Amino acid sequence: MEYTLLINHQDIINFSQIDGSIDFEKLKPSILNAQILYIQNNLLGGNLYNKIINLVNDDNLSEFPYYQTLLYDYITPSLVIHTLELFEPLNSSILGDNGTFQYNLTNAAAAARSEIDRKVKIYQMEASNFDDMLIKYIKKNITEFPEYNEDDGVVQKTTVQYPKIGWNLSTKNSINKIRY
């Protein structure tokens, strides 16, 4: 089955810190998953998503400036960051016929799991901000996107809970800084 991807290799390079030498084929599953999970299901809904896919496939996007702006200025950055959020934890290993293997690095050390988790949380916060901007653009121009209102699915924006830092003043003679 063939799928239309809404971003390309250059978009990934422009909106991220990924090295241009990364194999784009390895990113494609993460792009497609992010496109379906976040863009179609959480943000646009099926009707608006399909309208954009059809405009891209028919090469008619330039005839619809609001949709073109939605794709290039709002969907693209959101999709890039959601792609990295999904790709980052899976990048260091490969699943093959004989099991799961980690890549051998020369002149480098593999990132610790805690570092990868930290980066994923940063991607989630960044993507949430792009998602908010995307939804605000649609709502500001709602008359230009009738498919957004027609969708009978649940359209919810992505939410991320930011870590809170607080102080715990115990009854003992100590003060502990805690995260909750």
pLDDT for the residue numbered 99: 65
Q: Is residue 174 part of a domain?
A: yes
Q: Is residue 14 part of a domain?
A: yes
Q: What is the pTM of this model?
A: 0.75
Q: Is residue 64 part of a domain?
A: yes
Range of the domain at 80: 9-179
Sign of the alpha-carbon dihedral angle for 121, 125, 128, 130: negative
Q: How far is 35 from 24, CA to CA, in rounded Å?
A: 16
pLDDT for the residue numbered 88: 79
pLDDT for the residue numbered 155: 46
Q: Is residue 2 part of a domain?
A: no
Q: Is residue 114 part of a domain?
A: yes
Within 8 A by CB and 6+ apart from 56, the residues are: 4, 6, 71
Cα-Cα-Cα-Cα torsion 33, 38, 44, 46, nearest 10 degrees, comes to 40
Q: Is residue 52 part of a domain?
A: yes
pLDDT for the residue numbered 118: 78
pLDDT for the residue numbered 125: 87
pLDDT for the residue numbered 127: 87
Domains held by the chain: number: 1
Q: What string of pLDDT tens digits covers the 180 residues of the chain?
A: 688 999 998 998 888 877 767 788 888 999 999 999 999 999 999 999 999 999 999 999 999 999 999 999 999 999 999 998 888 766 666 666 776 656 666 666 666 667 777 777 887 888 899 999 999 999 999 999 999 974 544 444 444 444 444 454 444 444 443 433
